[in-house]
A and B are shown apart, each in its own frame.
Chain A
Amino acid sequence: MDFRLTEDQRALADGTRGLMARLYPAERLREDAAGAAAGTPVTLDRGMWRALGEAGFFALRLPEERGGLGLGLPEAVLVFEEAGRALLPGPLVTTHLAAGWVPGAAEGGTVVTAVDGELTEWLEASDRVLGSYDKAEPVRSVDPLTPLHRVVGGEPAGGVVGGGVTAGGVLEGGVTAGGVTAGELLTCAQQTGSAARTLELAVRHATTREQFGRPIGSFQAVKHLCADMLVRAEMARTAVRAAAVSGDLGETAAARLLADEAAVRNARDCLQVFGGMGFTWEAEVHLHIKRSWILRSRGRSVAECEERLAESLLDETLCGI
């Protein structure tokens, strides 16, 4: 047993962080947010999408003979953590799941979204919509960088749920051998990345911002907020990586709970550490809060995950760990 990242996995994570810094640096994120505030319609940058495709972002888990990188879910969560950290926009999970199955998805030439519940992300920008619906109307999305449509008569493509795929679903790319909902875990990975980022922002601000003649990070009330953020981020990361490795459905539900909690609450605490600045459109914080709400709304609800885990407590076949 060795839970640490292998050298290759570490290189993949570092490489992806570099890729994000090139394709979607924080300045670009803030520009996009400023553009949205000024009324510029949000579009998906096709050049960026193709660059992601070239880097293997979508084809990561496809076998090499089909043009993929032949990697697994553990590697994919590392990559999606970085995407979540950068708040990289677009229907990333659904396009990733469609790779190898929907023509052009693997290469980044085709943008794929999926009907999931009442709201669908990136409907207009997508070339392919998995599932069907009767009617769709744009909603003014709370997240300025995630366009939403309210769909009427929506029907998910057999088994497509939560930007992912349930056991027995039709998307071959989405289902791992154990039937884990890969898409759900990739969403969790994004949440984990966001939680790590808001922690980093809070710590940086707490170190530089001074009040009462000293950095605010020297005040214990601020320190303890940051410490709790670290605890949440570490728990979430551990949960997501373990679920990706084990492929266990209960662990996926646990990852879901902890990753959502980490993203949502860390973003809130980050806002608190930023004070009035945190309440502005300019600061990055609100974008993390809003994106974490969007990602949390995908697929299973908190209640469903908790019930799933409760049920597993009564499962006599599960003993020990």
Chain B
Amino acid sequence: MDLTYTGAELVYREELRAWLARTLPALPPAPDPADWPARRAYDTGWQRRLHEAGYADVHWNADPTRRLIFLEETELAGAPYVGANFVGLLHAGPTIAAEGTAGQRERWLPPVLRGDEVWCQGFSEPGAGSDLASLRTRAVRDGDSYVVTGSKIWTSHAEVADWCELLVRTDPDAPRHRGISWLAMPMDLPGVTVRPLRTLAGTTEFAEVFLDEVRVPVANRVGAENDGWRVTMVTLSFERGTAFAGEVVACRRTLRELARMARGTGAWDDPVLRRRMGRLAAEFGVLWRLVQWNVSAGAPGVGGSVLKLRYSQARQELYDTAAEVLGPSGALDADRPWTSDRLSSLSYTIAAGTSQIQRNIVAERILGLPKGA
């Protein structure tokens, strides 16, 4: 059990810190969250800078400790988050890297690293959420193409994506998990219609994607036909262990800001509030250690689910506490940043596998309890 960093890791940290100090002041102002084209330009612009400085592939190739240092330092410096690059860098990209052919890797990976192309994730459907394997979007082989018909939902930043990692059913007669394939679909093909959905936070973070006889080249399939479920699992397990590393750091900073604000307003005199914040400090401190544990342990295992379950809950408690510090006049003002964070925190126990599904996974796969009915 060693929590110290090596000399080389400390040098890496110092260099990164220096680069951030030089680079961040030159960034344009953050865009309006309602303006997706501007958000895309901002997020990909940041990715381009990372690429030029040699940090673009930190999520893929760096050793896990460096990746952790990267996540920590960028967050502490207030650097932009992956944003619209999320699916390309953290889902589709790693899948292609692991399962794609040499040609596919060459075609799709460099543009993601350079910030030239944006991906979205078309997995969920109106009828297939937690039960993803029940998805029904059909792909019928016709010569060199699949003809794809169906609809996807909750597709984050679909509006500005160039590519979609799409799960389709290629064999409707096979057992559920065996008839699925993974396709890279260009979003500008005829037959693709994107209808943005307004979230409870007021912005259009995700969309419905309707697919009407869209012709996707067979060459865009990653992995074998009907092997898409396994290919997908590679993606889903990729980063759970460190998924929230940067956010945990951000939450700890928010907690400190809240404490200072509470002292200023006098709310700090309330021992109930103080103690609640003390407990949150414990919670986020340990979540950070858990991230370090996951990084050390390598393969995403027990720690990934523990982190997802506990972090999503802690984040919601943090912003509920922020509302208390702000008082009604702040907490009910939708223009306060903590108010929008409070609203968006509500998705954390749903997105990327609900807390109930996480508990099922923990109980069945980690604890070995029998499957339910």
Contact = CB atoms under 8 A, between A and B. Distances in A.
Interface in A250-268: 250-251, 253-255, 257-258
Contacts of A203: 367-369
A227 B359 contact: yes
B367 A2 contact: no
B306 A258 contact: no
B189 interface: no
A48 B328 CA distance: 61
B14 interface: no
B202 interface: no
B297 interface: yes
B45 to A, nearest CB: 27
Given A1-B2, A310-B274, A242 B281 contact: no
Contact of B296 (A4, A217, A251, A307): A4
Interface stretch (B114-122, B212-220, B286-294): B286-294
B278 A207 contact: no
Interface in A7-41: 9
Nearest to A314: B259
Contacts of A199: 367
A4 B1 contact: yes
Contacts of B356: 220, 224
B369 A313 contact: no
A258 B278 CA distance: 12
Contact of A320 (B65, B76, B373): B76
B277 to A, nearest CB: 5
B257 to A, nearest CB: 9
Interface string A285-321: 0000000000000000001011111111110000111
Interface in B134-158: none
Interface size class of B (residues with CB under 8 A): 35 or more
Nearest to B309: A231
A47 B279 CA distance: 42
Contacts, number: 175
A227 B367 contact: yes
A5 interface: yes
27 contacts: A1-B5, A1-B6, A1-B295, A3-B1, A215-B370, A217-B363, A218-B370, A220-B372, A227-B363, A231-B306, A231-B310, A235-B310, A239-B289, A245-B2, A254-B286, A258-B286, A306-B275, A306-B278, A307-B278, A308-B278, A310-B274, A310-B277, A310-B278, A313-B259, A314-B260, A320-B249, A321-B288
Q: Sorted from nearest, which 5 A-B pairs have the closest CB atoms?
A: A306-B278, A254-B282, A310-B278, A309-B278, A223-B363
Interface of A: 1-6, 9, 74, 199, 203, 206-207, 214-215, 217-220, 222-224, 226-228, 230-231, 234-235, 238-239, 241-242, 244-246, 250-251, 253-255, 257-258, 303, 305-314, 319-321
Given A5-B1, A228-B359, A255-B286, 16 more contacts: A1-B292, A2-B296, A3-B2, A6-B1, A218-B371, A223-B364, A227-B367, A231-B309, A234-B303, A235-B306, A238-B290, A241-B1, A250-B281, A305-B278, A309-B282, A314-B256
